[in-house]
Structure 1
Amino acid sequence: MTNSHPVPPNETAELPEPTVGGRQKLIDFARRALMVLVFAAAAYFIVVNWPQVQETVFSLHWWQLVLSLLALIPGVLLGMMMWRVVMVGILRSRHLSPEGKSLNQIYLVGQIGKYLPGSVWAFVLQMELGRKNGLARAQVFVASLISTGVTVGASLVVGAMALPLIITQQPSLQWLYIVLPFVLLAMNPHIVTFLVNVVLKALRRPPLPERIRASTMLQAFGLGVAMYCFFGLHLWILVGHETALTIGNLMLLTGALSLGMTAGVLAFLLPAGVGAREFVLYLALAGLMTAGAATAIAALSRIMFTVADLLCVGVAFIHLRKTAKAEKANRITKDD
């Protein structure tokens, strides 16, 4: 005979709440701390570089600043779409459904990690955000690695428009001509799948059950080229008060900015490639304006990229919160 009493039909027995392990609490705290740190680093970058560009900012028309900033937004979103295409391709190769995954938020928020010294932090943040949303860290890492390679390939193709002029001013950059064919060859689906499986083996994860589709690589490459076109448009509008807005200058600046961003990727120890990108931009801009104006425009472009990143992340956060509230409301409605 027991002392337990039956639960009345109109009541439910209370079950103990599942406890969260100390290790998981520590990981969650570290993730939040890292996000706060990267946002602070991005804001600090803007504040520190503002004195260098404020005179140039005040010399521009307001519409130039607005249009130049707006041109960056589609570029940032195209970069997000490129990463998403690669991520969905990897999930499909494992016969997993990408539905319900917050892929946009994972990419946008994770990209802010590049403002910390060492671009590896962007990968780390994306992997942690992916795990929080039910994705394996290895899958997110591989997607970020492939999209970075596609970005470099697209930038070298677009940068070919500016490479002859830049090399005349800086002959040491001739090695970019050698890198281009190898990067394009590495985007072959068979080679990409082989390289991905090598990475997965190093991470002690099972290989992809089938090769990455050619359509995935082609779509990602096309989005990468389109991304750089919008970034070039941003710089072209920005220099309108210093030089003529010709099609030739648009092609030159688009190519120079894409090469500068590739130089930033290679200079991975610098936060967001600071310095490397500006050096390549300066070489192109110096042929169109004074050295002082070229330096200021290169720095102002960097600040505007940071502002565009933060705006996109802010919109992603707002959308994520609205989605979470809507899902919670739906669950409450169904329970009622």
Structure 2
Amino acid sequence: MSQQGPLPEASVPEPQTKRQKITDFARRALLVIVLAAAVYAVVTQWPEVKSTVYGMTWWQITASLLLLIPGVLLGMLMWRVVLLGILDSDHSAVKHRSVLNNIYLIGQLGKYVPGSVWAFVLQMELGRKHGLGRAQVFVASLISTGITVGASLVVGALALPALANQEPALQWLYILLPVVLLAMHPRIVTFLVNLVLKIFRRQPLTTPLRASTMILSFGLGVGMYAFFGLHLWLLSSQEAGLGLVNLFFLTGALALGMTTGVMAFLLPAGIGAREAIVGLALASMTTVGAATALALLSRLLFTVADLLCVGIAFLVVKIKRPEVEG
């Protein structure tokens, strides 16, 4: 009769240190705050847009909301491509991409707290929780923001000439475009990434960022704005009408509006800055009152879409977790 060896001892997780407990509590508190801020944004904006909603058909509202979801997800993919380009393909995080999706989408809700830096902070903390370095996550978020600005300026060229005629102050965007596009060169991005990593006292990238990473992420950024433009075009069709000229113009205007929103980083999600540009564009097609209402309604639907995408990503992680653990 064969003699069995001793059973392996069950691994007991090490108790958390006081610092780890404080960090974990702060991370959860920040998550609650940003979720509450996003919900608060929906509640406070509803009185201003409800009359506009009641005057539209249900399918128009629903379709314009659904068009935002693939746009948000393309933004998520853009960030993920950049992060994986920084981490390199052999990193263990590649195996759990649904977790990366959650980090981005939940982190993005930080933009609803005044001072858009909270989106970066939350993404860094969520990344740290899942074994990623804060510096790498911060750099990925910084690069993807720059690519987003570059893509928005290229798409915004569809509307910038007309908008600059109405508002000459927007002409500074002509200067920003070549600067941003030049800064997106892989060698320049790699240099800037290593500079940030040095500030964080982290090792530089083992290999430079690939041109394919920058090109793919830029293409995803352009695709993101294409869906966002379709959303605004359909949402305003009752007032402004359907037409390809309107589609291109409104897509460019929304892209520029979102870029000015990024610049107004002290405002929650660029509130006011984006609506000013979008309202200016819509006012050239309809009344000022209708343009303002549509710009605010678009803002509200963006918030709802962000919350829906977070919910979807959370469910995907819950469903896939048994597979990962198995």
Partners of 2:41 and 2:92 lie apart in 1 by 39
Give 1:77's aligned residue: 73
1:83 counterpart SS class: helix
Partners of 1:193 and 1:13 lie apart in 2 by 46
Question: C-alpha deviations, 1:142-170, integer Å up to 9, x for none?
Answer: 00000000000000000011001111111
Residue 230 of structure 2, aligned match among 223, 229, 233: 233
Partners of 1:194 and 1:260 lie apart in 2 by 29
Give 2:257's aligned residue: 260
Q: Sequence identity, in percent?
A: 63
Partners of 1:16 and 1:242 lie apart in 2 by 64
CA contact (8 A) 2:34 2:113 kept: yes
Partners of 2:81 and 2:12 lie apart in 1 by 42
The question of 1:24 aligning with 2:25 is answered: no
Instruction: Name the Cα RMSD after superposition.
Output: 1.6
The question of 1:127 aligning with 2:146 is answered: no
1:134 Cα deviation from its structure 2 partner: 1.1
The question of 1:91 aligning with 2:87 is answered: yes
The question of 1:218 aligning with 2:215 is answered: yes
Using a 3 Å threshold, how does the CA distance of structure 1 residues 253 and 22 change in structure 2: closer, same or farther? same
Using a 3 Å threshold, how does the CA distance of structure 1 residues 14 and 222 change in structure 2: closer, same or farther? closer
Partners of 2:123 and 2:14 lie apart in 1 by 27
Question: C-alpha deviations, 1:194-214, integer Å up to 9, x for none?
Answer: 111111111111111221000
> How many residue pairs are counted as aligned between the two chains?
321
AA aligned to 2:301 is: M
CA contact (8 A) 1:151 1:221 kept: yes
CA contact (8 A) 1:38 1:116 kept: yes
1:100 counterpart SS class: helix
Using a 3 Å threshold, how does the CA distance of structure 1 residues 16 and 232 change in structure 2: closer, same or farther? closer
Partners of 1:304 and 1:327 lie apart in 2 by 34
Give 2:135's aligned residue: 138
Residue 38 of structure 2, aligned match among 18, 35, 42: 42
1:208 counterpart SS class: coil
- For structure 2, the residue ranges without an aligned partner over 5 or more in a row are none
Residue 62 of structure 1, aligned match among 55, 58, 62: 58
CA contact (8 A) 1:91 1:97 kept: no
- TM norm structure 1: 0.92
Using a 3 Å threshold, how does the CA distance of structure 1 residues 14 and 179 change in structure 2: closer, same or farther? closer
Give 2:317's aligned residue: 320
Q: Which moved more, 1:96-105 or 1:129-138?
A: 96-105
